[in-house]
Amino acid sequence: MIWYAFYIALFIVVMFGIGLYHFKHTKGADDYLIAGWNVGAIKITLTVIATWAGASIFIGSVGLGYEFGLSGYMRFALPGAFFSLLLILLFAKKLRRTKLYTVPDIFDERFGKPAGVIPAILSVCLYAAPVTAMQIVALGALFNVLFGMPLGWGVLLGWAIVYGYTMLGGLPSVIITDSIQTVVLVVGLVIMGVATWVYAGGMAEIAPAIPGTHLNPAGADPSATLIFALTIGPFYLIWQSSWQRIYAARTERVALWGNAVGIALAGFVISVIPIFIGMAARSFVPGDNVRPDSVFYIVLQDILPPYVGGILAMALMAALVSGGDSFLLQGTANLTRDLYQRHLRPDASQEKLLKMSRWGVTVIGLAALLIAFFITDIVGIYTYTLKWSAVALVLPFLAVMFWRRATRFGVITSMIAGLTATIGWELAGNPFGITEILPGYLVGAAALLLGSLLTKHAASEQVKAIWYDGLQRQYTLPGARTETGLPEAQETQLPERIDAVAADEPKSG
């Protein structure tokens, strides 16, 4: 216990020291939410890895490997990495040139202010708060396993760590600590992977202990594996954490390559290790009455001495805090930028927005704490948040990128109809054996097409497709800095200079 306490206390002290430093040096919302457009490639890569490897990787993927084998990777990490790379490679440059911040930002600028309200609310309520709660629950379980702390008190302590650190430093401190955390969690995962494999006796002992389908990437039911992958994957096109790191990068080149390398390493390399840990655990963790999301903790306690297990505990804590701070900031950006500034105080200064951002962290943090006391299934809650967010927002996002004819009425109708159809179909018991995402996407697509074709563009719309036409911001943030180095108000007065800088960026780096 002493070793575990030492490693965790050391981690907390370093993390809060960095947070306090940035609390004193962060001057505006641009710095707090997107690190002032000024993060280099290595830090972007490391923070992407750290954000990816949260509870879903450390705990969820070990459980998926235990329950499904190789198909657990095909169900979860692979589709997430694939769609994340699509976002980066296809859309990163186009999105940065809009000079916007969030997914709702895009809808507000393209269709007028009301169109961004629904995505902002969905992002906060369906994703940011529940997934932050997921990290907090995992931290509470960690303290319970290591120190015998009652789960409720562990959840409160986990919340205090995630909330306090994020509120202090914002994204600048998150990116620095993510860089440190990435090293810790990768080292920890490798140690745990090797130790588990050796403890299990290698493949000669593991193979007889696992079902034969565990070695099949498609699993026992290939159609179920495919459906799960398609349920999870599309969400990553509109994952706000990826968008924030696209905008935080110093240049277009950094945004492209820093994010792409980070996702490739996290999704195609690091995410494989927990799957094999879960498979190896089959040989020594009894299968009766074992919850998949408890396998990680069993492995941690059973096979590693405390002085090594403490490193793993610190790595897990790093992963959970990293995920929690990123999701808190995602929701905060939606509250501060998409709801408060756009609809209540468009003339708010950077200092006022910074204060509101810290209040936003508090609001979402308290909501996450409340939700945390009702979470019992980490993988389950993550699946629902990704599925519902995707059916509501992916098709409207693609319409914004590629279809000029899309109207405000069409995209709002699509969001509501797609989400309603998905939830309704599932509540009805998935009639005819059809998974709920199929009617959700079909109804959403029909609502988008018919709603747009049968209505006219609103007067406040910019009738543009971002892929072909770009998108011009229609109002400015007082005092905001941009990647050109100009105050934002000057930048909007010099569109020809902005276009030239954006065009030269990939060449000049």
Per-residue pLDDT of the chain (509 residues; tens, 9 = 90+): 687 788 788 878 877 777 677 666 565 555 555 545 567 788 888 888 877 766 566 677 888 888 888 998 998 889 999 999 999 999 988 888 887 777 888 898 899 877 888 888 888 887 888 888 888 888 888 888 888 889 889 899 989 888 887 776 665 666 666 677 777 778 878 888 888 888 888 888 888 888 888 889 988 889 888 988 888 899 999 988 788 788 878 888 888 999 999 999 988 988 899 899 889 888 888 766 777 777 877 887 777 777 777 777 877 777 777 777 777 877 887 787 777 777 777 777 767 777 777 788 888 889 889 888 876 666 677 788 888 989 999 999 999 999 999 999 999 999 999 999 999 999 999 998 888 999 999 999 999 999 999 999 988 898 999 998 877 666 544 444 444 443 444 343 333 333 444 444 444 33
Q: How far apart are CA 416 and CA 443, in angstroms?
A: 10
Handedness of CA 497, 501, 504, 508 (dihedral sign): positive
Q: Other CB atoms closer than 10 Å to residue 289's CB: what's the count? A: 5
Q: What is the pLDDT of residue 452?
A: 96
Q: How far apart are CA 507 and CA 505, in angstroms?
A: 5
Sorted by sequence, the CB contacts under 8 Å of residue 427 that are 6+ apart come out as: none
Domain ranges of the chain: 2-508
36, exposed or middle or buried, with CB in 10 Å at 0-12, 13-18, 19+?
A: buried
Are 391 and 437 within 8 A, CB to CB? yes
Alpha-helix runs per DSSP H in 112-218: 117-122, 129-147, 151-200, 203-209
Q: What is the pLDDT of residue 141?
A: 83
Question: What end-to-end distance do the CA atoms of the chain give, in Å?
Answer: 48
DSSP code per residue over 377-420: -HHHHHHHHHHHHHHHHHHHHHHHHH-TT--HHHHHHHHHHHHH
State the CATH architecture for 2-508: Up-down Bundle (1.20)
DSSP code per residue over 25-94: H--SHHHHHHGGG-B-HHHHHHHHHHHHSSHIIIIIIHHHHHHHTHHHHHHTHHHHHHHHHHIIIIIHHH
Q: What is the pLDDT of residue 500?
A: 41
pLDDT digits (tens, 9 = 90+) for 436-484: 999 999 999 999 999 999 999 988 898 999 998 877 666 544 444 444 4
pTM: 0.79
2, exposed or middle or buried, with CB in 10 Å at 0-12, 13-18, 19+?
A: exposed
Q: What is the pLDDT of residue 156?
A: 92
Q: How far apart are CA 304 and CA 313, in angstroms?
A: 11
Q: What is the rounded (10 degree) CA torsion for 395, 399, 405, 411? A: 50
What is the Cβ-side half-sphere exposure of residue 261, based on CA atoms within 13 angstroms? 14
431 DSSP 8-state letter: G
